[in-house]
């Protein structure tokens, strides 16, 4: 008789549960023993969707010794990560160093004089494997990129597997543990993971975060004279420089779309302030505001379920195109079949150049020839593009769709992932 396979899943937020939802479905169908570490808030969502489940839940309130371990792990990560880990990390350090006055800012200050490790994940593992208790009841643990439980993953008895939640996670911050294997969307993102996180074993997996767009692609769209701008920032959580630049960009686009007689929809981030776009809505009759969730204390507390995805994609279904500068929504839009006009405004708005240097934006978005790079005059060059027969937005959308790559079905891809874990 074949013994039951066991696995632990560790993820905290609803946004991460959206990644794990189809994985859990596959595990249930294959009769795995499923052990889950998550927040009480996310547990309620899981139990609502998987009624009468037999999942084992680890206690979400960790003993005090684990709280100390978490603090120590974070301190070591701050102190020994090179500031040159990535452009994003360098800006995060500066942001925390300049704008925040708390206990962590003290360690960020100290990090300017501490030695650094070129493979900080390996360094952390080698030091913390002696003090990390055996928390999990299974030897195999599956976690998302940038997860909340890195401090629990350095026990030498564990085999930790990481699955990609978002494409920009590889270069943001060190994981703080070692993955036996990491599951990424394509070969380019595997290489990013190897470069920044130093985990050499990677494998392709269906982009689960983007599954709604892939499986519900629009056909025979009837379009209006309407464009949508995908906002990257919010005054609730974002870098204040980025937030200020985007408000300027949105203001200019309001003027330009009015001159072109286009309906203009501002698509906020999933969690945004209730009032941050009021100025544009009140001033311009052709400007509309897209759907977003009420503000939260934690930017990760939102759930991209199918109802949410249907609502946000219905808003762009009849759009000529989506205008993108700095967001992942370029991928979503391209995959569901709405062309993407990628703007490069780094020569026009000097402060924006910093954000175009983000690894994933620089390497996979503005590096394309199929974008609109504003050289001298935003108004004239933008209007000229719309009055011409140019089709970079169509070609760019198709380019992104090809780059993502998703030949396998969701179920087939997850089964391949599980075979890699248990091979």
Cβ of 86: how many Cβ atoms within 10 Å? 22
Q: What is the pLDDT of residues 287-303, one digit of tens each?
A: 999 887 765 555 555 66
Q: What is the pLDDT of residues 60-82, one digit of tens each?
A: 999 999 999 999 999 999 999 99
Choose between 242 and 95: higher pLDDT: 242
- List the 159-163 sheet strands across, edge first: 56-57, 33-37, 6-10, 140-144, 159-163, 181-184, 202-204
Q: What is the pTM of this model?
A: 0.92
pLDDT at 299: 55
| Domains assigned to the chain | 6-63+103-207+407-421 (3.40.50), 213-404 (3.40.50)
Q: Closest by alpha carbon to 270, among 291, 289, 247?
A: 291
pLDDT at 90: 82
Distance CA 138, CA 277 (A): 48
pLDDT at 238: 67
pLDDT at 96: 62
Q: Residue 1: pLDDT band by 50, 70, 90 thresholds?
A: very low
pLDDT at 145: 96
Q: Examine the pLDDT at 203 and tell me if it is beyond 80.
A: yes
SS3 category, 138 = coil
Long-range contact list for 177-180, CB < 8 A, 24+ apart?
177/121, 177/124, 177/125, 177/150, 177/153, 178/121, 178/122, 178/125, 178/154
Secondary structure in 3-state letters for 342-366 = EEECCCCCHHHHHHHCCHHHHHHCC
For the chain, the farthest-separated pair of C-alpha atoms sits apart, in whole angstroms, at: 73
What phi and psi values does residue 357 have, to the nearest 5 degrees?
-85, -10
Q: Examine the pLDDT at 47 and tell me if it is beyond 60.
A: yes
The per-residue b/e assignment along 334-362, b for 16 or more CB within 10 angstroms, e otherwise, is: bbbbbbbbbbbbbebbeebeebbebbbbe
Q: What is the pLDDT of residues 238-284, one digit of tens each?
A: 677 778 889 999 999 999 999 999 999 999 887 777 788 999 999 99
């Amino acid at each position: 008789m074949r013994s039951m396979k066991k696995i632990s899943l560790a993820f905290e937020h609803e946004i991460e549960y959206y990644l794990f939802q189809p994985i859990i479905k596959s595990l249930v169908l294959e009769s795995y023993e499923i052990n889950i570490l998550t927040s009480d808030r996310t547990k309620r969502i899981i139990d609502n969707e998987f009624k009468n489940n037999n999942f084992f839940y680890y206690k979400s309130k960790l003993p005090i010794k684990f709280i100390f371990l978490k603090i120590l792990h974070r301190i070591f990560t701050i102190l020994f990560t090179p500031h040159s880990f990535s452009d994003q990390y360098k800006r995060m350090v500066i942001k925390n160093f300049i704008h925040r006055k708390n206990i962590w800012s003290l360690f960020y200050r100290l990090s300017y004089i501490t030695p650094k490790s070129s493979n900080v994940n390996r360094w952390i593992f080698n030091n913390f494997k002696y003090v990390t208790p055996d928390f999990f009841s299974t030897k195999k643990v599956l976690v998302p990129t940038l997860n909340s439980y890195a401090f629990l993953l350095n026990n030498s008895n564990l085999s930790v597997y990481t699955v990609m939640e978002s494409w920009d996670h590889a270069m943001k911050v060190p994981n703080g543990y070692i993955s036996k294997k990491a599951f990424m969307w394509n070969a380019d993102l595997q290489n990013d993971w190897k470069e920044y996180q130093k985990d050499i074993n990677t494998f392709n997996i269906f982009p689960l975060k983007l599954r709604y767009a892939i499986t519900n692609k629009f056909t025979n769209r009837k379009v209006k004279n309407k464009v949508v701008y995908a906002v990257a920032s919010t005054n609730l959580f974002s870098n204040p420089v980025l937030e200020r630049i985007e408000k300027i960009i949105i203001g200019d686009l309001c003027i330009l779309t009015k001159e072109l007689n286009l309906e203009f929809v501002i698509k906020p981030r999933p969690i945004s302030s209730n009032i941050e776009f009021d100025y544009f809505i009140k001033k311009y009759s052709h400007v509309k505001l897209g759907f977003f969730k009420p503000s939260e204390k934690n930017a990760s507390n939102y759930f991209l379920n199918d109802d949410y995805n249907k609502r946000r994609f219905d808003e762009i279904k009849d759009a000529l195109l989506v205008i993108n500068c700095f967001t992942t929504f370029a991928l979503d839009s391209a995959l569901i079949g709405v062309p993407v006009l990628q703007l490069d405004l780094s020569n026009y708005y000097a402060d924006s150049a910093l954000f175009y240097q983000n690894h994933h934006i620089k390497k996979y978005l503005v590096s394309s020839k199929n974008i609109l790079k504003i050289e001298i005059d935003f108004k004239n060059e933008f209007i000229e593009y719309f009055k011409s027969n140019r089709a970079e937005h169509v070609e760019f959308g198709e380019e992104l769709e090809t780059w993502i790559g998703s030949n396998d079905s969701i179920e087939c891809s997850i089964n391949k992932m599980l075979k890699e874990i248990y091979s």
